[in-house]
Amino acid sequence: MSITRLDGRRIVITGAGSGMGEGLVRALPALGAAVVAMDVNEQAGALVASEAGARFVQVDVADQASVEAAFAEAARLLGGLDVLIHAAGIAPSSPAQDSSVDLWNTVLGINALGTMLTNQAAFGLMRESGGQILNFGSAAGILGQPNKAVYAASKGAVTAWTRTAAKEWAAYGITINIIAPAIWTPMYDRTRSEMTPEQLAAHDAFMATAVPIGGRLGDIDRDFVPVIAFYASEGAAFMTGQVVSIDGGTMMVR
C-alpha cells in the first residue's frame, strides 16, 4: 500500500492517549512527521508519545489558558505548526428527553468549545504561513444518532464551525476539513464486551448491512492512517470545508 509521506510536516495531534488519536501518534512519525501529542491524561498520552517517537504536552481542550499554553509549547518544540489534527472528544450516551444541562455543558465544552479553542490557537500559529486543520466530526452530527443526542449536537456544532472558519481563514492559506470516521478502536472493543451475546449478534447483523465495504468498522492502520496522511499533506491544500467520511460508505456525503 502506498501512503503519503509527511517528511518535515510539523503536526499537533489532540486526543493522543487513546483511540484514533493514539493510532495517528503511533503512525505519523514513521511517515516523517514531527509530532507533538496532546491529551488531558498525562500518563497515557506521554506513554504513547514516548513509544512513538513523538513529544507530549498535556492539555485540557475545554480550558482556554491550558490550550494557549499547550500550543505555545508545541510551537516551541516543533519550530512552528503546519497541521492540527484535533481528535480529542467524548461520546457519552443520552436519549434526547433525558439529557441533562450538566451533560450538555460537559460534552459541548469538550467537543465544540474544545474545537474552537484549539483551532484558534492553531490559527495564531498558521496565519502568516498557512496550514491545515482536521477536526473530528461524526455522522451523528449530520444524520443524528439515537441515544447520542448531546454528542450529536456537539458534532453538529463542529461541522458548522469548521465550514464557517474554512470560509474565513482561506484568505490566510489555512484549510479546515472534517473527518467523520467509523473505525474499530479499543473503546469499541469495550462497548462490544459489555453487550450480551444476543445484543452482539444483533449489532453485528446491523453492521453487516450498514457498512457497505466489509460490513464492519475500519482498521486504523489500513483504512484510516493513509487517508489522514493525505489530508495532512500539502497535496490536500486545495480542499477545505469538506466532510471526509472514512466509514466504508456508511454516510455518503453530498
Q: How far is CA 224 from CA 57, 58, 231, 248, in A?
A: 24, 25, 11, 11
Strand partners, 37: 13, 56
Question: Does 151 qualify as catalytic in the annotation?
Answer: yes
Determine the Cα–Cα distance for residues 84 and 99; give it in Å rounded to an integer: 31
3-state secondary structure of 4: coil
Annotated catalytic residue: which of 151, 172, 188, 231?
Answer: 151
Give yes or no for a contact between 121 and 68, defined as CB atoms under 8 angstroms apart. Answer: yes
Please report the DSSP string for 31-77 in residue order: GT-EEEEEES-HHHHHHHHHHHT-EEEE--TT-HHHHHHHHHHHHHH
Enzyme catalytic residues: 151
